Amino acid sequence: MVEYAKYILKLNSHQQQQDTPEEDDESCSEPDITDIASKDPLADLTPSEKETLWRCRWRCGMKVPQSLPKLLLSFSWAERDNVSQVHLLLDTWGTVPYTVALELLQERHPDPTIRQFAVQSLDSTLADHQLAKFMLQLVAILRLETSLDNALVRMLLRRSLASHTVGSALFWHLRAEEHRWPNPERASAILEAYCRGCGLEVVKQLVRQTAFIHTLTNLAQEVTQAHRCQEEQTNELQRQLQHRQLQQHQHLHHLPSPVIPGVDLGDLKPDQCRVMKSATRPLWLVWDNPHPMANHYTNTTSLILKRGDDLRQDMLIIQVVSTMGQIWHSEGLDLRLMPYTCLATGNNSGIIEVVRNARTVYNIQRETFFGAIQLHTCKLFQWIKMNNKGVKLDRAIENFSMSCAGYSVATFVLGIGDRHPGNIMINTDGIIFHVDFGHILGNFKKKCGVKREWAPFVLIPDFVQVISKGADNPKESKQFRRFQELCGEAYLALRKHRTFLITLFSLLVSAGMPELQCVDDIEYVRKMLALDMTEKEASRFFHSRFSAASQGAWTYKVDWFFHSMRNR
């Protein structure tokens, strides 16, 4: 392609000399290019910005390599000379970070040479566990490729055959997506290519896992379709599992967990399995831990099998929250997030990891009748103290404060709704985390046409009581002031990495998730990050929303009360 580009340039008689780095205008300033490159993927470039990037294209490659996605928008692709010059430029550009490479794989960059360059950068910069982490986006990109034989599919197959971590992720993401592809036979062809090359033992494992999920999904449908109460459904589930324990032993016992890499499932424990109290009636399933050191860690492994919800949306939010945690860590903030594992295994079905030693806020509060309405705001603090004696208590409170700051900022930026006490959890070490992401990007639930959640994020008095270590006037405590500062720092850190965060969403617009249907849906994230403001203005904006969350806690108080009354 490079030789062809040189040939095209040579043919154009109007071009008097070869385009070289020396032609770059010395008036080009690196800060100007950096500012343009930092614009998020959905922002439009002005004519002046386009002119600057094209005039300074050689300097872009040498000094600001992350500017490549914007440079590709700065010229007309109908001009053969321009395209040839960009292809030549790529030969000197060098590898770009994976955050930039993913942006290059958006639909707006269809050129095969550009996409091959992006894939080469991904291949050289992503470790196996990172490649598996972004498989949700990569499979969505595969769906839109114009040809089955392309650079991305070749790279993914090669890496999958070399790493079981990557291969397992590719297999299950394709299984969950293939019915949505415009040409499902393409997904089947990729799956077949992987299975033909991965080896007999891996194929046997995948067959067992597929049969395992098929058996449990059918059982969930059979048990929950009957019009019976939850207790009757649980009894029927346990009876069926006892029967299948004999009839289909190989499907349900002693196999690697599809959802938690590196974890093996032992004997199924039917007497501990149950149907959960939820609209979709998920199954809570428990296995023995067969690891020789299980007594020193955990004796059982629990998973939730869920039908009726598109778990790809949960996977996206868990992935983005995990990415936020890495961003904060790189900025010197250890916010101790706990993104659990979730795997979509088919059409509106999947498996969710159960976090050990954790309880919902609802279960902690309901020990007293009025706990839900939060007349007794010390209940949560008392529970943490009960599980953390002596010197462990300070560490648990610190865990709570740091993780609460992280999830407060994350749920605010991502517009996560339906935040009731049943989907906010705390483990015995004090780490708080959110689950169940059926409502995102500002799609808050309504009751009789009225929005139920008015506060920007959950900051109820129970949380403030823990953060302040039980102070009499918690919002005036130094701990709460530090918590507010921490939230502000976390928010500004996300703004620095806005391009990558928005890229993760934009790559999935065509995937057909319930609440990510078009580019306009991502506008909520852009608005919450205040991308049209300066950093000082954005900081003031966030702190105003923080105050609104603190002062508007009563709205959650009322909503949680009615939720608890419905579920008593």
Running along the chain, 568 residues long, what does each successive block of 10 average in pLDDT? 56 47 60 89 92 90 91 92 91 92 95 96 97 97 92 98 96 93 93 96 94 91 81 89 68 88 90 88 92 79 92 96 97 93 92 94 72 63 93 96 98 93 93 94 70 78 93 92 97 97 96 92 96 95 94 63 56
Architecture of domain 202-308: 2-Layer Sandwich (3.30)
User: What does the pLDDT look like over 504-557, one tens digit per residue?
Assistant: 999 999 998 999 999 999 999 999 999 999 999 999 999 999 999 988 765 665
Check residue 17 and give its pLDDT.
46
Q: φ and ψ at 324, to 5 degrees?
A: -60, -40
In the prediction, which pLDDT does 538 show? 97
Contacts 24+ apart (CB under 8 A), 201-210: 202/164, 202/167, 205/255, 205/256, 206/168, 206/171, 208/250, 208/251, 208/255, 209/255, 209/256, 209/258, 210/175
CATH code, 2-161: 1.25.40.70
Helices (H), 163-264: 164-177, 184-197, 200-225, 230-247, 249-252
CATH of domain 354-566: 1.10.1070.11
Give residue 61's pLDDT.
Answer: 85
Parse the chain into domains and list their residue ranges: 2-161, 202-308, 354-566
Q: Strands across the sheet with 300-307, in order? A: 274-275, 283-288, 300-307, 349-353, 342-346
Three-state DSSP class for residue 543: helix
For 159, list phi and psi in degrees, rounded to 5: -70, -35
pLDDT of 275-320, one tens digit each?
A: 998 878 899 999 998 887 777 778 899 999 999 888 999 999 999 9
Report, in angstroms and rounded to the nearest whole number, the Rg of the chain calculated over CA atoms. 26
At 421, the amino acid letter reads P
